[in-house]
Structure 1
Amino acid sequence: LLNQKVAHNFSIFLKSFPTKPNQMKDKLLIIHEEKGGLTDEHIASLRRYIPTPGDIDMYKSFKGSPSELHLVDQYMLEMCKIPYLNNRLDLLLKIREFPGNMHDLQPLIKQQIKACTQLSDSKNFISVLEYLLAIGNYLNENAGKQKAKGFRLSSLTKLLQLCGKERQFTLLYALVEQILLHEPELAKFSQELTEFEAVAGASIKGLNAEVEGVSNIRLEHITQYKKNLKSNRSTQELQFSKDLKAVIQKYEADLSQLTQQCGEMKKIYSDILIKFGEPQDQDSQELFGWVSSFIKDFKKVYAQIM
């Protein structure tokens, strides 16, 4: 009965699908794979073969015995009998994905908080910046320019480009030289900024958007599923609702903790932007990249001098 091309692809999938047609509905009422539910791969594959409205009308009009049908049609016939199949499959996938999303996001958020804390607390880094400002103002004064009150952190990436008559004598070289001459212990300021040894792989704005996305998508699918619940539910459906409630309560607690950490991350980064005179819309990945590049360049020049 089914379209030949769709039927061919579906039959290939069914060769590795262990569930019988008459077991489909009950299998979709089991949330966890370890308790007998379908695998993530099977759920994702079934979504590709959701019956169309035309398929549903066609199979509803079939009056014979299911055993008379081809195996592919037997499965499609059962799938057409499952109300809101697409929503149910989506819900199961989102529930399965949530722990993985949490597992991926938590260490990234913690890493950003640690990086922000190091940058906020590093007194030696501030002292290095003060040396750089003093050298810059010395040069400005000799050039007849006004003294600067500060500078953008993006300037840290340009110190190797500013050089004197000797190409090797860059502004960064002068900075390292002055620090070694007056306060050599400051040359090890990077020990307070270990999280900046590599450029950040995620931005705070991006992580915040992902946390909000995890919350919104999960709530959207659960709300949609609850709207479709019938009042006269079977024993299996009642158990599914009970298991779903337990899962939601656990994930709500996990999500609350993640949201709290995300708020902490945003707050401390905002404080950093204020402290260094950067605009509030400054991307953290870019800013952390400037600091990371500066540390790398500073160490390189330090090694040359020593």
Structure 2
Amino acid sequence: MKSDQVKGTIFSELDDQRVLQELDMEAFEEQFKTKSQSPPVDLGTLKKKMAQKTPSGASLMEPNKAKNLAITLRKECVAASDICSAIETYNQQALSLDFLELLERFIPTEYEMKLIQTYESEGRSLDELSEEERFMVRFGKIPRLSQRISTLTFMGNFPESIQSIQPHLNAIIAASMSVRSSRKLKEILEIILAFGNYMNSSKRGPAYGFHLQSLDLLTDTKSTDRKQTLLHFIVSIIQEKYPELQNFYTELHFLDKAALGNQTL
């Protein structure tokens, strides 16, 4: 920058300072002050203005949950009262399965139920609440709500579940009929029962049958010399006295499929 330009700038600044001293800046500031220059607003006044802009309704739900509930209710296009009535009467046809599964996420928490109880105990009107909150109040009063929704969900899934497990059920039924009709297996069980009655004769009278889980005792019961189990002893007796029963397993069918199906179920 040239020297004359520098001098001109300095003189301009000096002139500005002189002019500022001769002008009434208070009148200028009053007429042209910006918002940032405005005097601070009284805190009490600000609170009153905020209260006027804020809805008077109470909040019984977390905002995001209320928003998601509103979206869910719009999807089903069923009145809130009809939804609650369907759950109370187990009306499976009134509500879709997908909607029921979504509703499970909106079961009121213990904290939300306390908020509802407090709100009602104060005698406040439901009209102050949003549509979603009014639904939550009605929804939360359904007895055993969680169990009812679970039951309805189970009922809705039942046909598909039956179709899925039917092959396994058929295998189990077929295997059960095979076991029941096996003559050789029945005779083996009679031999086991005879030994059991003999061992327990001093404790109680003869039994006419035993539970299947009692067969586990055959491997747990050992001889006095601890060299063999009761199962091994009975096997040796069958091989010696009843050799025709050794191939009893040939009368049993579908056992592998039944065992696989039982694990799946």
Q: TM-score, normalized by length of structure 1?
A: 0.39
Larger Cα Rg: Structure 1 or Structure 2? 2
Which of 1 and 2 has higher RCO (CA within 8 Å, sep 6+)?
1
